[in-house]
Amino acid sequence: MRNIEELTKNVKKYKKAVIQQNLDSKKNTVAYVTLKGKPRVLKWFVPGYKRQMMTEYSILKKGASKLNMPSLCEIDEENNVLVTNYIIGENLCDIINNEKTTKDEKQRLMILLAEWFFNFHNHFKTDESFRIRGDSTLRNFLMTDRIWGVDFEESRPGKTIEDIAGMCASILTTDPMFTSEKFQLCKTFIESYMKLAPGRITNINDEIAYSLLEKIQWRSDDEEIIRKYSKKIKEKELI
């Protein structure tokens, strides 16, 4: 993967950016910088990912004023860069998996997360279909005094249950994996969403089982345990 210094050294408009922190990303180069004295995130898309860049651009442009997501500062199509504001928050994955986080707080966060998805799905809904955020993982959310969603390059038209099941698969497969607490968190998340959107979610166990199997491409070392619980959830409806 390219280093953000390649961008800041070689592209004039970013030469005065002060790199504060490289941010995790599986595909693209992402960094927190100060640009003209302001905190910003530079997301440098790899060649061939312009479609994904335009997808994220359109989501942020339409949603940032109404939803908890970063504000778009600039799109640089020549260099495949999105510039957004920087949100000072803690990653939701770290909070949920922190032993010091109380069970009540984790339950509260699941309710807030369900509300975020409900608001996202409703905001982008059309008469014909829903748009889902895609890549629904705990690491794509930050917590300040509220929950913020980040990273929308995989957003697409789809079924809302895909987002809900994907998030449950993420909750279950972050360490510690498949604990009774994690199953309870999934249950709270699903029930909270269903209260907001009655009738929108059906056959959730089948969808979670499928989403778990999709995780194997990123978690090959855990394939055996993931397949085991995918089968259990599908057959015994554990959630």
Under 8 Å between Cβ of 203 and 239: no
Q: What are phi and psi of 11, to 5 degrees?
A: -115, 120
CA torsion, points 139, 57, 117, 203, in degrees to nearest 10? -90
Q: What are phi and psi of 73, to 5 degrees?
A: -100, -40
Domain-wise residue ranges, the chain: 4-85, 90-236
Task: State how far the Cα of 86 lies from the Cα of 95, in Å rounded to an integer.
Answer: 19
How many angstroms separate the Cα of 43 from the Cα of each of 71, 73, 89?
A: 13, 12, 18
DSSP-derived secondary structure letter, 14: G
pLDDT reported for residue 2? 85
Give the strands of the sheet with 90-91, arranged side by side.
90-91, 141-143, 147-149
pLDDT tens sequence across 23-56:
988 889 999 999 999 999 999 999 899 999 999 9
5 has pLDDT over 90: yes
pLDDT tens sequence across 158-189:
999 999 999 999 999 999 999 999 999 999 99
CATH of 90-236, one of 3.40.50, 1.10.760, 1.10.510, 2.60.40: 1.10.510
pLDDT reported for residue 130? 96
pLDDT reported for residue 226? 96
Task: State how far the Cα of 137 lies from the Cα of 171, in Å rounded to an integer.
Answer: 8
The CATH number of the domain covering residues in 4-85: 3.30.200.20
